[in-house]
Amino acid sequence: MTPAAAAPRIPPQGTLVISKRLLWVRGAAYPLENIVRVYTFELTPRRGAAFTRFLKRGGATLIFLLLLTWFSDTSRSSYGSSDSDGLADFLLAVGVVVLTYFAGEMASVVFARSHPVLAVETNGRSTALVTGEIGYLNGLVYAIAEAIDLPDAEFHATVTSLSITNYGDYHFGDTANIYGGSGHTGVVK
Instruction: For residue range 9-43, list pLDDT tens digits in order.
Output: 666 666 788 888 888 887 788 888 888 889 888 88
Cα–Cα nearest to 170, from 1, 25, 43, 54: 43
Instruction: Give tens-digit pLDDT for 137-164.
Output: 999 999 898 888 887 888 888 888 777 7
pLDDT of residue 54: 93
Cα–Cα nearest to 113, from 164, 160, 159, 161: 164
Q: What is the mean pLDDT of residues 35-63?
A: 89
pLDDT, mean over the chain: 79
pLDDT of residue 103: 93
Query: What is the torsional sign of CA 114, 135, 162, 176?
Result: positive
Instruction: For residues 32 and 139, give the distance between their C-alpha atoms in angstroms, rounded to a whole number.
Output: 17
pLDDT of residue 2: 56
Cα–Cα nearest to 38, from 115, 153, 135, 146: 146
User: What residues does each domain of the chain span?
Assistant: 9-45+113-171, 47-110
Instruction: For residues 32 and 34, give the distance between their C-alpha atoms in angstroms, rounded to a whole number.
Output: 5
Instruction: Give tens-digit pLDDT for 92-140.
Output: 888 889 999 999 999 988 898 888 888 888 888 878 888 889 999 999 9
User: Which residues fall within 8 angstroms of residue 41, CB to CB, at 6 or more apart?
Assistant: 116, 117, 119, 173
- Per-residue pLDDT for 168 more than 80? no
| Total count of residues recorded for the chain | 189
pTM of structure: 0.63
Residue 21 burial (CB count, 10 A)? 14
Question: 133 or 82: which carries more pLDDT confidence?
Answer: 133
pLDDT of residue 156: 84
Q: Output DSSP code: residue 152.
A: T
